[in-house]
Amino acid sequence: MSDPRTSLPTHEVENQPDPLGDINLLGCDPVLTDLAPKRLSEYGAALGLSATRTRARAAHRHKPELTVFDAGGRRLDEVAFHPAYHEMMTLSQGAGYAATAWDGGSHVEHAAMVYMASQVEPGHCCPLTMTYAGVPALQADTHLAETWIPKLTTRAYDPRVLPVEQKASATLGMAMTEKQGGSDVRANTTRAVRDGDHWRLTGHKWFCSAPMSDGFLTLAQTDQGLSCFLVPRWLEGERNAIHLMRLKDKLGNTSNASAEIEFHGALAHQLGEEGRGVQTIIEMVHHTRLDTAMAPAGLMRGALTHAVHWVRHRRAFQKTLIDQPLMQAVLADLILDWQAATRLGLRVAAAFDDPGARAFARIGVALAKFLNNKLCPRVTLEAMEALGGMGYVEDTPMPMYYREAPLNSIWEGSGNVICLDILRTLAREPEAGAALSEALDAARDVDARYDQALSDHRARWPTLPDEREARLFAERTAVLLAGSVLLREAPAAVADGFVATRVQTAPGHIAGSVSGLDLRGILAAF
C-alpha cells in the first residue's frame, strides 16, 4: 500500500509521529511479562493490530440501534450492532475472554484479557465480563448450570436470535437496578409469581446491561422476599415478554447497548433460594468487580501507550518531547499510577485462583476497584494533554479513553457504595481483615517509609472508622496495599517512587508535582 502524501501544495507534513502500527499488547507490556500462555500472546497480538484498532473505532463510532417493532407492528425488541462490534466479539469470545477462567486457564489470564481488550475497544467487554461472571452464580442450580454453563464457556460467538438450547454459545447480562432504588436493590418492586415450574416477572429495570444477551440475571420480589432469577431472552416458538423501552445515551462505552426494560409476565427460572436473591447474585457481582478493577488499568495503559509514542516522536523547542524534563516528570508520575493499578489488579486476580485466598479476594477486589477507578480519569486526562490539541480530536483514541474513564467506578457499585462495602466486609468477616493485614505485612522490612506509614495507618484507625471517613480509610488502605505489591514485584525505581509520593506522603493533586525521583528508571518501566 502506498504511503500517504507528505508533500502538499502549501507545506511539507513533518514532525507528525507515524501511526502506532502493529504491536503485541502482551509482548510490549513489562507488567505482563510473566504471563506467557501462547493463546494469551496470540490475543495480545490480534488486539494490537492496526486493523483491529480500525474495527474498534468503527464499533464505538456507530452506536447500536433499537428496533422495537417490525413493519407490521409486531414486537421485535432487538438491538442491531455495527459489523465491527460483532468482529470484536468474535475475536474476544474466540480467545476465551469469558471462558478461560473456567476451562483450564485462570482468573489471572482472564484479568489480562480484560486489561488488553480495554485498551482497544472497551464497549464489547461488558457482555463478556457478565458472561464470565455469571458462571459461578449459575452453579446455585444444577439443572440451569447444565444447560447454560457449557454455552457460556464455549470459545465461540453466536449472535443469532434463538433459544439457548439451539445456539453454539451464549452470553449473559444483568438487570438489577430500578428507578426508585438504584444501588438499594432491596427497594425493588418487580414482582415474581409462580407459574408451574417457572415464574412470571412483571416490573421494570432502569439499567439492563447488554440487552441482546441470551439471558439475564435479575432480582424480583416473591412472598419470601427479594429473589434471584434467570430470565431467558428467547423462548421456543416465541419471544419472552421483555420489552426494550429505550437505549441509554451514554457518555462513553458507546459500542455496547444498555437499556431500560420492562417485564410483562416474562418467563423466568428461580436461581438459588427464594428470598435470598442478593446472596445468590452477589457471586456475579463479586466477579464483575475483578473486571471493573482491571479495565481502568487497561484504559490507563492504552492512553499512556499513545502518549508515550507521541512524545518519543514529536519535537518542540529543539528537543524531542520525551527528553523535556517536565514531560518526564509528568509521564513518570502517571506511570506510577498505572503500575500500581495493574499490579494490584493482577494480585487480586491471583487470589481468585486460590480457594484458600477467598477472604483476601473479597476485600482486595473492592479496594482495587475503588483505587484504580479514582486514578483512571486523572491518568487519561493527562495522557490526552501530552498530545496537545491532537489529544482532543477524535482522530486519536484519547477522547474515547477519557469518556470511558468514569464507567467502571459507577458500574457495579459507585465509590461510596464500595467504601461502605469495605467497612461492612471488615466488620462482618474477620477472616477478610486478617487476610488484608497479612497482605499489608508482607512488605514489612523492605522499606522503612512503608513500615512507618503502615504503623501510622493502624494507629489512626485501631478500629473501623466512622462512615464519614470511609473514603479516606479506603484510599489509604488501598494505597498501602498497592505499595506492598509494588515493593515485592515492581522495578526498584517504580516501588521507590510510589512509596515516596503515595505511601509516605499524599501525592500532589496535579500530575508531575513530584521531585527527587528516578524519572528515567520509572519511564524505563513502561
The CATH architecture of the domain made up of 279-525 is Up-down Bundle (1.20)
Of 331, 262, 267, 266, nearest to 300 by C-alpha is 331
The answer to whether 20 and 51 have CB atoms below 8 angstroms apart is no
pLDDT at 509: 74
CATH for 38-274 (1.10.1740.10, 3.60.20.10, 3.40.640.10, 2.40.110.20): 2.40.110.20
Q: Which residues contact 240 (CB under 8 A, 6 or more apart)?
A: 231, 232, 233, 234, 266, 267
d(CA 206, CA 51): 36
Of 461, 464, 460, 458, nearest to 437 by C-alpha is 458
pLDDT at 185: 84
The answer to whether 129 and 189 have CB atoms below 8 angstroms apart is no
Cα-to-chain-centroid distance, residue 428: 27
Of 60, 93, 82, nearest to 169 by C-alpha is 93
What are the sequence ranges of the domains in the chain?
Answer: 38-274, 279-525
Please list the helix, strand and coil fractions of the chain in percent, rounded to the nearest 5, in that order.
55, 15, 30
pLDDT at 186: 83
Cα-to-chain-centroid distance, residue 171: 17
Q: What is the pLDDT along the chain (526 residues), one digit of tens a residue?
A: 688 999 999 999 999 999 999 999 999 999 998 787 888 999 999 999 999 999 999 999 999 999 999 999 999 999 999 999 999 999 999 999 999 999 999 999 999 999 999 999 999 999 999 999 999 999 999 999 999 999 999 999 999 999 999 999 999 999 999 999 888 888 899 999 999 999 999 999 999 989 999 999 999 999 999 999 999 999 988 899 999 999 999 999 999 999 999 999 999 999 999 999 999 999 999 999 999 999 999 999 999 999 999 999 999 999 999 999 999 999 999 999 999 999 999 999 999 999 999 999 999 999 999 999 999 999 999 999 999 999 999 999 999 999 999 999 998 788 999 999 999 999 999 999 999 999 999 999 999 999 999 999 999 999 999 999 999 999 999 999 999 999 999 999 999 999 999 999 876 678 877 888 999 999 999 9
